Structure 1
Amino acid sequence: MTARTDEIARFLASHGYHAWTQTLLAGDASTRRYRRLTGDSGQTVILMDWPPDTGGDTRPFVELANYLTGLNISAPRILAQDHESGLLVIEDLGDALFTQAIAAQPRMENTLYRAATDLLVHLHQAPVPELSPLTPRVLAEMTGLAFTEYRRAVKGQSNDMARSHFEDQFEEILRESLTGDMVFVHRDYHAENLIWLPDRDGLRRVGVIDFQDARAGHCSYDLVSLLQDARRDVPTRIETDMIDRYIEATGIDEVAFRRAYAVVGVQRNMRILGIFARLSQTFGKRHYIDFVPRVWSHFERGLSHPALETVADAVLDVLPEPNADTLERLRA
């Protein structure tokens, strides 16, 4: 028995879960590990294992889970916690990720996306907890990963001059485009972090996970995350309808919102290009490169908006298109 295994066993025993059977669940892009615990009568909970020595900090998850459940949103309830050890027992919301629910019942796709969009409308009306803000400068600097990770993996160097110049120009575009009050931003609000709970009512049918990195930011951010999904193709019809739905429900200025949506789309997808390159190159998670052409398509489409015309050509000249050779280098 390893020291970590022993630590987990003590934690579970202290909260009455020592006799429950454990099943390892598929992980995500982080250092977190999850196990489903099953009791004698079939009841289940989830063990989150996020060791502090790997950078884990379970406190934000607990604080934000409590915030979301306080808004009548279906985040996992916290059942047991030991922050010093990086261990939580949380409510099991099941396995019906939107991705799987749609695959099982394709006709439900529009219903699920409508529900997820309506949840954002509800969330954006709530007071924002104390969160670090996604300021124009922060967002601009986040795009640097496209140069330092994605471009460097393909070309062998990052072109720091081009990166710095782009960030400065892009910061001004962000500053002009992202107007209005900040809202709660999940930052990874997509079909593999949303769980369909059909036995619940209204907005509570949407289970929300993986929110521990939330920030305060522009209201378009999570809608971009939902509709420009890196991992699955969201039909154009649904993307268009959900943008219209959000605008109508909130009464936000349509022209300003569509501009912000395009600009945030460019920002987010540039960052994802860098993250996926790093996951492949540094951590050996080559399957993330399969998503790069889709991410690039979102990025390129966003650049076609007039708000990006001053930077579009230059950034496309510097960042390599994901052709067969590029993808091979990213997997190397």
Structure 2
Amino acid sequence: MTDHPDLIELVLPDETATVELGEDLALALQAGDCVALWGDLGAGKSTLCRALLRAVADDPDLEVPSPTFTLVQSYDLRLPVSHFDLYRLADVSELDELGFDEALSNGICLVEWPERAGKALPKSRIDIRFQFSKEGGRVVLLSGPEAKLTRLRRILQIRRFLEDNGFDHASRRHLTGDASTRAYEHIYPANGDARLVLMDAPARPNGPPIRDGKPYSQIVHLAEDVYPFVAIDEALRMRGFAAPAILATDCDSGILLLEDLGTEGVLDAAGKPIEERYRASAACLAAIHDSPFEREIALRGGWVHVIPDFDRPAMKMEVELLLDWHLPWKRDGVPVSAAERESYLNIWDNLIDELATVEKSIVLRDFHSPNIIWQGERTGHDRIGLIDFQDAMIGPSAYDLVSLVQDARVTIPRPLMDQLMADYLALRNRTADFDEATFLKSWAIMAAQRACKLNGLWVRLLKRDGKPGYMRHMPRTLWHLSVAFEHPVLAPLRRWCAEAGIELPESAA
């Protein structure tokens, strides 16, 4: 690969290389991308399109007929893709009849013979130009807006990472993305070895400073690169817990190759909790909390990760989401008053003071259904695969039990919630210095802290980020707050919420 400021030049020696490029592009493209493919007959345009479509479909046998006569062939896949062949286009106006603009608004458009479209294609497109090479094979030039070229450079960088670590010609497939800048791929080694997982996690860009000169991510201690993941992964594995083995790293670039723990979770086909798996998860969590973790974790190369504290600024920043987003939404845009804010934060200062003497341990932070992998062939705590812990902190151990039994995205019926609490407490009570009453107080405080954060976060995702789907969780997380309020330590916050007009359901929706 030759990387120029405004284009990328690749040499594709054979059809296999063209197929690999198509598969890689399937990981880089997003809805709204138009890809114009330029080149003579037999240059490789159709081969690349076919590979890209099969990769998006994750189906090597997907039928991909040529759209030469139909002019367009559409595919309803993970991302909708429309494959245009404009060789027989009689007039540019026919693009409207073919539904080009609608297809581009909903998904990806691949366009062969783009020269027939004149100036009708978007200026923000990605151009891929195929040229025959004198040495055989093809030379391919990729160009487009810088933001799109950045995506293409990233997927090609990952391809080089795989090759540098002995995974030449591995097949790559989209696995998932999460709410951060991270994305994940399934990697299928060319030699047929077991499937792997690749974490693509470029360094988190800092947002604007919002308090004490720090951005939100630093105040609440979100990982800014992959070093914390590597550190916590090694610490968990040293203690016998089932975090994935790390097989290759480029930590500076934010690329990790991991053992694949599988895709079987703790929910049934209907999305309901499987009791056995949840109870095993509670037992695993009790074992984690019975295991001491050093605050400083030394890694190869001299790098040291210091696990941050779940401190007062982090807790208060999160609970302020209720003030800044939930209540204004409920009040049709009217913000909370200065007096309400002061009273609310004073209550939280007092609650955080109550946590001074409670048990502290490592807090994985998101110990809930999306991040728990079931490995039923095992018999110990390693039945519970752990995959999301880069934001781990040192804080009240009760927080992770809240995450499990008050899953933000899955309704845990009250009887099962109570059973999980009883299981956990029975295991922890075997430890002589475990204080159940103090733990239950901290559980109630952390349940309220998490619920206040989430009930504000759902509205922020709706209003700021245009993601209304998360609002369906609000009845559940409001119910979680009402459960937390059963503990007398939360009486002041319960009264404040009632006076503020926050309505709490008696049970989850």
Determine which structure has greater relative contact order: mean sequence separation of CA pairs < 8 Å that are 6+ residues apart, divided by chain length. 1
2 CA distance for matches of 1:174 and 1:43?
A: 47
The one of 238, 260, 274 aligned to 1:70 = 238
Equivalences for residues 1-332 of structure 1 within 5 A: 2-40=152-190, 41=192, 43-52=194-203, 54=205, 56-99=224-267, 102-103=268-269, 109-130=274-295, 131-136=307-312, 138-155=314-331, 156-159=333-336, 161=338, 162-177=340-355, 179-251=357-429, 252-318=434-500, 320-321=502-503
The structure number with the bigger radius of gyration is 2
Unaligned runs of 5+ in 2: 1-141, 143-151, 207-223, 296-306
Please say if residues 359 and 439 of structure 2, whose CA atoms lie closer than 8 Å, have aligned partners that are also in contact: no
Please say if residues 75 and 209 of structure 1, whose CA atoms lie closer than 8 Å, have aligned partners that are also in contact: yes
Moved more, 5-14 or 183-192: 5-14
Three-state SS of the structure 2 residue aligned to 1:31 is coil
TM-score, normalised relative to structure 1: 0.89
1 CA distance for matches of 2:367 and 2:314?
A: 19
Deviation at 1:151, TM superposition (A): 2.6
2 CA distance for matches of 1:235 and 1:53?
A: 36
Moved more, 198-207 or 306-315: 306-315
Moved more, 111-120 or 176-185: 176-185
| Structure with greater proportional strand content | 2
What do residues 275-313 of structure 1 show as CA deviations (whole Å, max 9, x unaligned)? 222223333322111111111111122123211112212
Moved more, 3-12 or 265-274: 3-12
Moved more, 197-206 or 250-259: 250-259
Please say if residues 193 and 210 of structure 1, whose CA atoms lie closer than 8 Å, have aligned partners that are also in contact: yes
TM-score, normalised relative to structure 2: 0.59
Please say if residues 358 and 438 of structure 2, whose CA atoms lie closer than 8 Å, have aligned partners that are also in contact: no
Q: 1:43 to 1:319 in 2, by over 3 A?
A: farther
Aligned partner letter, 1:25: L
1 CA distance for matches of 2:259 and 2:327?
A: 41
Aligned partner letter, 1:112: R
2 CA distance for matches of 1:49 and 1:157?
A: 40
Moved more, 88-97 or 7-16: 7-16
1 CA distance for matches of 2:462 and 2:250?
A: 32
Deviation at 1:174, TM superposition (A): 2.9
Aligned partner letter, 1:48: M
Three-state SS of the structure 2 residue aligned to 1:37 is strand
2 CA distance for matches of 1:292 and 1:18?
A: 46
Moved more, 278-287 or 5-14: 278-287
Q: How many residues align?
A: 320
2 CA distance for matches of 1:278 and 1:213?
A: 21
Moved more, 5-14 or 195-204: 5-14
Aligned partner letter, 2:387: I
Aligned partner letter, 1:50: A
Matched with 2:16 is: none
Three-state SS of the structure 1 residue aligned to 2:173 is strand
Deviation at 1:263, TM superposition (A): 1.5
Please say if residues 479 and 504 of structure 2, whose CA atoms lie closer than 8 Å, have aligned partners that are also in contact: no
1 CA distance for matches of 2:502 and 2:493?
A: 15
Aligned partner letter, 1:187: R
Please say if residues 481 and 504 of structure 2, whose CA atoms lie closer than 8 Å, have aligned partners that are also in contact: no
Deviation at 1:320, TM superposition (A): 4.5
Deviation at 1:244, TM superposition (A): 1.5
Unaligned runs of 5+ in 1: 324-332
Aligned partner letter, 1:246: Y
Deviation at 1:243, TM superposition (A): 1.2
Three-state SS of the structure 2 residue aligned to 1:25 is strand
Please say if residues 128 and 216 of structure 1, whose CA atoms lie closer than 8 Å, have aligned partners that are also in contact: no
What do residues 28-72 of structure 1 show as CA deviations (whole Å, max 9, x unaligned)? 222211110112315211111112264651111111111111111
Deviation at 1:117, TM superposition (A): 1.1
1 CA distance for matches of 2:176 and 2:289?
A: 31
Aligned partner letter, 2:461: L
Three-state SS of the structure 2 residue aligned to 1:81 is strand
Q: 1:188 to 1:158 in 2, by over 3 A?
A: farther
Aligned partner letter, 1:311: L
Deviation at 1:27, TM superposition (A): 1.9
Q: Identity over the aligned pairs, expressed in percent?
A: 31
Q: 1:19 to 1:319 in 2, by over 3 A?
A: farther
Matched with 1:326 is: none
Three-state SS of the structure 2 residue aligned to 1:22 is strand
1 CA distance for matches of 2:329 and 2:250?
A: 39
Please say if residues 363 and 393 of structure 2, whose CA atoms lie closer than 8 Å, have aligned partners that are also in contact: yes
2 CA distance for matches of 1:319 and 1:192?
A: 32
1 CA distance for matches of 2:313 and 2:153?
A: 42
